[in-house]
Amino acid sequence: MSASLVFKAGALALACASTAAASYVIKDDFSGSTFFDNFYFNDTLDPTHGFVEYIGAGDSRLSSLAYYDPSTNTSIMRVDSTKTYTPGVDLGRLSIRAQTNNVYQYGLFILDLAHMPGGACGSWPAFWTTSNDHWPEQGEIDIIENVNFATYSEETLHAGPTFPGDLCEVVGNVNTLPNGQQTGMQTSYNCMWNATTSDYGSKTQYSGQGCSANNNNANNFGSDFNLVGGGVYAMEWSDEIIQMWSWQNGLAPGDIANGTPDPTTWGNPIFTTWGGNCDIARHFIDHIVIFDTTFCGDWGNAVWESTTCYQNDPVKYPTCADYVGANPTDYAETYWEVRSLKVYEFQNPVVSSTSTT
């Protein structure tokens, strides 16, 4: 090695040694008695055509469904579980669609839940991010979502075309690492919102499916999640990658509780876009964060006849809305109980003056 190369190698080592490690730092902490100060209650019609009536901040009924519980230091978002509703007469069962006032472009989103909406026929809970005004062009990231009595969450991306010929696909669990690159079972690979074919994995999918993986982690959704005291979900979104993790209560990495989260130490995510052909910066732009629980809707109606609630009495409950409207007590466990939602932003390395010497 020449003397000049030795000098350059030494200078590079010095620069690296003098550089502070890149890390995530807290941007927004949604927790405690001020949790709801950071949210807007959207009372517009459900875009998924659900049998639901979302109530807004000016509605006197809101306080019974969205409130802070000082005894547990948690924030609750319920659906009505006391009244019956008639399809064709009522919009649907009362519920909450809470979305952040703040808009985000990238970040690490960590949700600590004590309880999520439990398994019930017709329920469709979701924790997700999307553009407030430009769907699907600016994308959607579904972090927690499924319907009815599902025992697992689906992690899904929906991307919209910006220009003709745009691509946004993932490769699933490719064998580039000893144990693969993700723990979730990929079920669809093309993230474009209306795609029906893919260049990877399963070659066909239905329009609207997006690219989706089933969460295989223990106790990650619905009643099973609640029986173990909840858990933690995390989603990392940068201009290069989107990926998601989950842990049941008590098993999340210690750096999350310490406020110093480091995703590079968490092991394989449930879902990752790594290795695919999706331009993240092009397809996922300016998102708000949303909690909601709808009923039936496009997804729930499509699978209604596969539920036991239909099969046990198809004459009495020919539609999902018929069942949801008539059985209020089934939805006593259909609520979100949030310990905290924290949003971190990436802090770039800072190089000290000695690194230029």
Q: CA-to-CA distance for 201 and 195, rounded, in angstroms?
A: 14
Q: What whole-number distance in Å separates Cα of residue 49 and Cα of residue 46?
A: 5
CA 163-104-112 angle, to 5 degrees, is 125
At residue 256, the 3 state secondary structure works out as: helix
Q: Which residues contact 286 (CB under 8 A, 6 or more apart)?
A: 103, 104, 105, 131, 132, 134, 138
298, 47 Cβ separation under 8 angstroms: no
**Torsion sign over Cα 101, 50, 54, 143:** negative
- Token output for 73: 């230091």
Tokens of 223: 């009643």
How far is it, in rounded angstroms, from Cα 193 to Cα 268?
26
219 contacts 251 by C-beta, under 8 angstroms = no
Active site includes 137?
no
Residue 78 backbone dihedrals phi, psi, to 5 degrees: -105, 170
**Marked catalytic residue, from 53, 145, 236, 333:** 145
Has 145 been annotated as catalytic? Answer: yes
The active-site residue out of 140, 154, 155, 169 is 140
> What is the widest separation between alpha-carbon atoms in the chain?
87
**CA-to-CA separations, 155 to 26, 126, 135, 273, 356, in angstroms, rounded:** 24, 10, 18, 11, 44
Q: Which residues are catalytic?
A: 140, 145
